[in-house]
Structure 1
Amino acid sequence: MDQNYTVKQLAKMAGISVRTLHLYDKLKLLRPALRTRAGYRMYSEAELLRLQQILFYKELDFPLKDIGRILDEPGFDIIKALQGHKKALGLKKARINTLLKTIDNTLQNLKNKTMLNADELYDGLSPQQAAAYRKEAIEAYGTEVVERAENYLKKLNKEELKALVAKQKELGALLYQLKDMEPTAAQVQELIAQHYTNTRKLWGTDGAADKQAEAYKGLGNLYLTDERFILAGEKHDADFAGFIKTAMAHFADEQLS
C-alpha cells in the first residue's frame, strides 16, 4: 500500500511552507491525492514527484501558470524533464560560481583597500585634464569601450596597474633602441606583439574574441598625430612615432586580420 503524507509532512520534506501547498492546491497546480473526512489533505508518491517538478521549474524562474501547463501536457515525460533540469541547473550553478568568485575577489580587494578609484586611473593628470582626456576617449572609442576599460582597471590593485604601465614604458624604451630598423623586422614585430598584449590588458579586453585590429592601428595613428601620446622619452619624437605607427599597422594587418 502506498504511503500517504499530510500537508505538514510534505511541506517539511520539500522545505516549503504549508501555506505554499495550500496555494498550489487553490491554483490546481498540486492537488492532494485525497481528503480525509475531517478535510485534511493527503499526498501520495505521485504528488511528491509532481511537487519536485514544480520546485525545479520554479528554480529555473518559470511562472506557476506555465509550470502547470507544462506538467499537464499529455506528452510530458518526467525522465526527459529531469535530464533537462540537470543540464539547466548545471549551467546556472556555473554562472553562480562565477558570480561568487567575483564577489570574493571584490571583497578581498575591499578588505585590503587595494581597489583603485577613478582618480587613480588618471594619476598624474589634473581633474580638468583627466575629464578632458576621458571625454576625448569617449568621442574616439565610445562610452562602452572607455567604461569597460575603467571597470577592468578598477579591479586591479595599485601594484598591478603600476606593473602594466611600467611594462608599456619598458616596451617603448626597447622599441626606441630599434627605431633605425625596418618597422617590419622580426625583432621589432616581436616587441610590438608584446605591446599589443599589454595594451589590450590596459583596455580591459585581453582575451576577448574581437582582436581590435582597427583600434590598435588607431592607437598607432595617435602616437603620430597627437603629441600627448608618447611611447618613449619625455618629448614627442615624430620620427619614432612614424616608426611605431608603421610597425603597429603591419602587426595588425599581418597578425590580427
Structure 2
Amino acid sequence: MKKPFLAVKDIVQITGITARTLHYYDRIHLFKPTHLTEKGYRLYDRSSLGKLQTILLFKELDFSLKEIADILKLTKQEQKQIVKRKRQALLSKKQRLETIMIALDEYVAGKDISQLQIFNHSSVLPLKEQYANEAKFIYGETESYKEFNETLENLSPEDQEVRFQSMEEIFKQIAACIDRDPASDEVQRLIGEWKENLSQFMTCDAELLACIAHTYKFDARFKNYFNQYGSEDLADFLYSAIMYHINR
C-alpha cells in the first residue's frame, strides 16, 4: 500500500536535498509541509513534490529564493516565459565564456594580450582600434592626422603589426618602471623610444605630445588599456613622464 504522505527522509532520498534545506524552506514559507504530526514531524503529499522540483529548477538557474517565491505565484505559462528568457541569457553567457576560454588558451600559448579576440567583446578596445581612435580624437582633419593616415596606408599589414607590437612593448617596459621617478634616465629613455615610434607616423612637436599625454591621463579608454599591465597608476605615470620629456 502506497504511503499517503512522504516524510522528510523520503523527500531527502527522492530529491537529494538536505533535511536542513527543507526545514529552512518551511521557515521562510517557500515550501511548507502538507501536514504536521502530533509530534511535530513534517509530512508532504505526493503532489507537493512538483512544487519542490519547480523550486529546485529555478534555484539551479541562479534565481534567489525571494525571486523564486514570486515566480511560484505566476501561472505556468508565465513561468515558462521566464525560463525562455533565462535560457537566452545563459546561451549568451556560454558563448562569451567560450570566447574567453579560447583567448586564455592563446594567451598561455604565447599570444600577446592585445591580439586576443576577447577584447572584441569588451569595453576595452583592441590596441589597433585604440591607436586609430587616438589619432582621430586628437588630430581630426589636421595635417598631422592626414600624415598619419597616409603613412599607415603605405604600410603592409605585417609592417603595421610590427609597429603596433613595438609600441606595446615600450608600454610594458614603462610599466615595469612604475616605481621609479618619471624623470629618471631609464623612464626618459623609454619615452624617447615611444616618441621615436610615433615620429614614424607623424611629426611630433611639443604641443602634439602634450595632447597625447593628456589623452592617456584623462581618456577612460586608455586608462582601461594601461590597467592591463597591472597598475591603475600607469596612465598618470605616462602623463608625468611625457610632460617632463617635453619641458626638460
Instruction: Say yes or no: TM over 0.5.
Output: no
Q: Normalising to structure 2: TM-score of the pair? A: 0.45
Q: Normalising to structure 1: TM-score of the pair? A: 0.44
